[in-house]
Amino acid sequence: MEISTKEYRVWIEGTKIHYEGTMRLSGTDAYAPILSLMNDVLQSKPDEITLDLTELEFLNSSGINLLAKFTIEVRKQPDISIRVNGSKAVPWQSKSLKNLQRLHPALELTIS
Amino acid sequence: MQFGTPTLSNSADAKSIRIVISSDAIDLSWHHCGTTSDFISEFFSKACDSDIDANDAHHSINYLINEILENAIKFRYTDDIVITGSLEMNSFEICITNTVNSDTAERFQEVLSELLSRDPGELLLEKIEQNAMDMSSGGSGLGLLTLMNDYDARLGWAFDKVPEQSQVRLATVAALTLS
């Protein structure tokens, strides 16, 4: 399962969702296919989901809203744990990903 | 009418840039937000003093301009968008002006009154929770809240009625301290 454009790529490996490139889509509707792909992983009821954002160089606020909505969906299912991996080389991640942990304190955030 | 602090303090000696996105000349669309913010952030990150983290400056300027331009493009009444940016030491300032119709201006003023009346961090989480309950919601003001809370951006807005017309000229001013 993969969504790929000139600007970005999102794909699934097992229960890990990878993001790469620059995502500046115009709003909730434009992000819907990506949310749908993420929800497919959630609906398979894995023990753990990982969002690998280390290669996602840019995300606009609509995209941050997408990650936040998904985090809240995962929060509703206490049997499923969530890890979010980020990179110190990508400044938005150190600035904005902590908000996901505030929404869902059990979320394991690693920025390395 | 003004909200926040829509004033600029960099001097005339600051490194500066002025860009006009002319709606007559190009078919203005979404991707112009990204290409414009990429260009301006590239320009200023290369102009930074060596004690400033150029990667962080590049990203912060890019995110800031992209979010304000997205609003300008989304809510504009057909007219030019003018962007002026300047950098002096570690102070980056930007002013983006565009025209909106009077209904849009009123709705935006209501959003701003709410944003400025609360702690941005708290309000950001509250808005995200509200959006999550309504899956079709796009999140009004979330971009501005991330700028205020995650980037410590200082923001201001000035609304001026266009003489003898129903449109309003909106100037959005933002300042970042680069480190």
> Which one of A28, A61, A92 has the shortest CB-CB distance to B143?
A61
- Helix (H) / strand (E) element for B154: namely strand B154-161
Q: What is the pLDDT of residues B52-73, one digit of tens each?
A: 999 999 999 999 999 999 999 9
A-interface mutation test, from B37, B63, B178, most A Cβ less than 10 A away: B63
User: Which residues in chain A have Cβ-Cβ distances shorter than 8 Å to B124?
Assistant: 99
What is the tally of helices (H) and strands (E) in chain A? 4, 6
- Give the range among A81-85, A93-97, B69-73 with minimum mean pLDDT: B69-73
> Is A64 in contact with B67 (Cβ distance < 8 A)?
no
pLDDT at residue number A107: 98
Question: Which CATH class name applies to B2-118+146-177?
Answer: alpha beta
pLDDT at residue number B118: 95
For helices B54-75 and B31-47, give the axis angle rounded to 10 degrees: 150
Handedness of CA B98, B104, B106, B110 (dihedral sign): negative
- Ordered by start, the domain boundaries in chain B are 2-118+146-177
Q: Is B54 left (phi over 0), alpha (psi -120 to 50) or beta?
A: alpha
> Is A58 in contact with B30 (Cβ distance < 8 A)?
no
Question: Is the reported ipTM for this assembly greater than 0.85?
Answer: yes
What is the average per-residue pLDDT within B167-171?
Answer: 95
Q: What is the pLDDT of residues B110-155, one digit of tens each?
A: 999 999 999 999 999 999 999 888 766 655 789 999 999 999 999 9
Q: Give CA torsion, residues B88, B92, B96, B102, to 10 deg.
A: -120
Query: Which domain range does residue A103 map to?
Result: 2-111
> Which one of A24, A61, A92 has the shortest CB-CB distance to B34?
A24
User: Which residues in chain A have Cβ-Cβ distances shorter than 8 Å to B60?
Assistant: 91
What is the average per-residue pLDDT within A59-81?
Answer: 96
- Provide the domain count of chain A: 1
Domain at A92, CATH number: 3.30.750.24
Report how far residue B171's alpha carbon sits from residue B159's, in angstroms, rounded to the nearest whole number: 7
Length of chain A: 112
pLDDT at residue number B67: 96
Let me know: does B73 contact B99? Beta carbons within 8 Å.
no
**Residue B25 — very low, low, confident or very high, per pLDDT cuts 50/70/90?**
low
